Structure formats: structure tokens, C-alpha cells
Structure 1
């Protein structure tokens, strides 16, 4: 039985990856320090004989007994609310954490896939974004702690590939949504749905003409899996190329939820990208992959998940104590 280590296993994408690899017949080792992850996302796997969980911070030395065939590094805060609260930990997991896991992959002779992000393109001057675009990133701006952590992560991964001959894969993830997202993590879909469920007006930052492209989680996981199993080592965009303005999207949410909220506007945060759309031609060519799930269907599934949350979970503000992670 093939063995795979998935870091960030209790997070949104990490938990769905655990499910996919269990379903594919792998022995799955999940690892998470639970800064932003939640054990409820993987609780259904705890009785599975082919799953085990390590509560561990990957910025510290990582030891996993036995052989490993694959490693997927998905440990990182991924929302603006999180990485602005824990900026140093965000930088450390992208640098020290990645270094530890690349070292583990080398020691175990395992193939490793690194989760990068569309944020490496910054506020892009090229549209749509192709993998050969170098980006427009403000390294010292408020988003720099996340953007530069991911850019360094890619550089370190390529160094291990070129110098040590390590089998590496790099996925650049564009906006993804679906069940198990944290409702109050600051990203647009859970933010809108949380406001709708609480009967609040929907908040748009900026004039709402900025664009995003949303990929349903099942499509994203399928693309990641196919990239891991491919023989391609350079970065690959995985996302949905269907672009929509935030104004249009807010209207879709109002229609979906059957609410009558108004839209309120607030200033656009510094360095927030005005356009975000992946060019997925490379993924189509080398992976035979493209998104299949219609946004209307994906949003309905996501909204049904959020409706199951308790009143406590629907509260607007989170009060998680990040102090022990600020070094």
C-alpha cells in the first residue's frame, strides 16, 4: 500500500485531499498544528485503519517512521485574516516548513508536491495569468508575508529538484471554495454566505469591479491529484478560468440564499489584486484537466454546508488565540 503524508490535513483543502487519497487506496498520514485547521474536518477518518494523524508544527523537525511514497505540503495560513494575524508563522511555514519537508522527501526518496498560490502573481499586469508570468508583488506590503512565503517556497523546491534531483511538483492554486471552508476566514465566498445567514448586508471592498475566478473544491483536488501523478515538475495553474466581478458575484449570492440584503462598500485593502483569472492551457495539455462543476451547483453545495453550522459557528468574529504562534 502506497503511503502519503499530507500537511495541513485538518484544513479546507488538506482534509479533502485526505479523503481523495483514502478513496484511491492510499495509507494517509495527516499532519497539522491546528493553528487554522480543525479536527472536525477529518474526524470521520479517525476510525479508518488506513489513516493516522500527527499533531505537529512542520516548522520544527519533521519525523515520520516508515517509508513514504508521496508528500503534499498544504500547511499554511491561506486567508488574509489569518496571515495578517500570524505573519511570522506564515513566513516560517513557507520557508522552514518547506525546507523540513523537502529534506524529509529526500531522506525517504518520496515525490513531493508543494501548494503554491495565485498570490505569487500579486496584482497582475498580465491577464489571464500564465505560469511564465513573474508577477507584480509588493514584498513589504501587508500581503507580502504570504506572497513572498509562497514565492520562496517555489524557489526552494526548484533548488531541491535541480541540485538533488528530487521529484517535485508545484501547484498554483486559484480561488477555491466548497464545504469545510471556515466561515469567518475573510475570503469572499464564506464572507458573503456568513453575512447572508446572519441577515447582514454584503460587504464589498472597493467598487466591486475587481474580478475573481472560483473553482469548486472537487475540481481543484482532481487537478492536484493528476499533477502529483504526472511527470511535470514546473508550476501549473489549477483553477477555474471563468471570470466574474465581485458585484456580479454578490448578486448571485443574494439570489442563491433567497435573502434581500443590500450591498455596502468599503475601501479596497492595499495591494488587493484587481484581476484574478488563471490560464489553464498547460493543465489541459499535460494533465487532461479542466474544471467541470458549474458554479451554481458548487455554490449550492457550499451553502448547504454552511447552513448546517451552529449559531456559535455563525458568529461574525473569531476569537481564536494566536498569541502562542507569534514569535
Structure 2
């Protein structure tokens, strides 16, 4: 198991990153703000108008540090990665499995079933935490429906059928997401999932944290030698990291959604930390983005017992652990892919 390293997020607009020996140096104007040894980094994320010298990109590529370029609000633009060091035989087997029709069905079933189960766990936890009996009743009823959907997904006869159950579970889950919200419910009311752009504060938070999770998953998949663009549940599309999106489905509820719920319910983010533009497009202010990233990095340090390995690991290593298990399954070392089930 590798050591949990750090992801450097550079969000100050106008910042310039350059190489200083074996370190990444961050300047704003003529003032040096930070120097980070490259060997302590897992990833580098540049938000908005942040410039990187060719030499710092070369340094990161030499040391296997992926560089992601995002808009100021977290929409993915591009990723810079060094030479692929993964086993070519592993990738070839990944491609064969994805091209073999329903041969990938067991993997898709595992991913969808884990997504439904993890969503149900989040809903049940919210039902236990609320003091409102009516909201608790609605949440428990939704959890019961999710349970039946998960059982159906586990028996899906085709990949398309499994995709259908995944869609049904997502609709059911987000239909009661508003009931899981506490704190300032008027300011963080949730009317359904919206993206590009998000149309309320809760959706803005969800989209932002999903961008953080996607970065970590893509990095994990590339680290173990898998191709993030070739997935099982999500179909291939130019520019789409289908395999990363597959893994996001099982990790989204326990890692990302729970963080968003915590930030809102504990009033750690304030309504004033968002900007509403024309058409109700809602964006995070810079102070809120920094606050959310700090909470995300802290959450990654929390430990839990991995349900398959039976070892205690930081939450931040869950994407890497799942990528290792998926690679081992594709190589033939496991009978099936043990998707992540949160307790």
C-alpha cells in the first residue's frame, strides 16, 4: 500500500508555477507564496487562471505527478500525464473485456449494486440523524425502495438493464436529497440535480466535490496502469474518462455526498459564499472553494476498515485501493471485482 500523499490545489488567480530544483514553486506577482518538494505530491490541480511553466510540467511528468487543469468553478479541461508506465498486457486485457459485450456484466452489476447500497446507507444515516419524524419516514421509505432496486440490479441480465437500474436508483436517491439537508434549509434547498451550470448552492457544492473525486480516481487508475477512458458501465466517448466515471458511481455517495451534507448541516459553508449569475447559475466564491478543499483533504485523512481487505486505511486511499483490486480482477487474480461497500 502506498503512502497517502498530497494533492496541491492552486486557486489564486494569476498564480505562476515554476520549477526550482526538485520543488514546485508558486508565485503571485513577484512574491513567492509556496515551495513544495515534488516527491511529496500525488497530484497538482490548477483552477482557472493559473499558469505553469514547461519546466514544472516536465518535473511533474518525470515524477508521475498528474497535472489537472480545471475552470475556476471546477469543470475539467485537460490533464497532463507523463509516459504511461502501466503493464501493456493489463490494458489490452481491459480493452478485451470492455469489447466482449456482456462479459463485463459481472463488473457492471458489482458497480451498480455498490452504488445503490452506498446511496441507501447515506439515506439511512440521514434518517437516524434527523429529529423530524416525517422526514425520517420519507427517508426510510426511499431506503426500502433503493434496497429493492439494488436486489434487481444484482440480477440484471444485460448491461443495459443494469444501467437502467442505476438510473432508477439515482432518481430515487436525489428525490429525497432535500430531506437529508439540515442547517439553513431555505438557502440550501435542493430541487433536483442540475449541472453545467448548477442552479442552486447545493448543486454547486456537489459538482465541485465531484470534480475533486474525479481527479483522485483518474490519478489512481493511471497509477495502477489502467486506462481511465475505457469503462464498463459508461460508454466510450471522446474526452470522457468512462472508467473513472464507473468508479465514481460506487464512491460518490460515501465520499462526496456525505461531505456536502456535513458542510451544509453543520453550517460550515454560508449562503453568502456563493455567487448567483444570470439564469440562476450558482458558483462558489474563492473563499468557499478553499474551505471545501480544506474539508476534502481533511476527510481523506480519516480512517476506515476496508470491507474487502479488512485493513484500516485512510479514506483518501480508497480510490487507489479500488483501482488495485480492479486491476487484479482484470489480470485474473480475483474471481470478481469487489466493489466498495460503505458501512
TM-score over 0.5 (shorter chain): no
TM-score (norm 2): 0.30
Structure with higher Rg: it is 2
The structure carrying a bigger helix percent of its residues is 2
TM-score by length of structure 1 reads 0.31
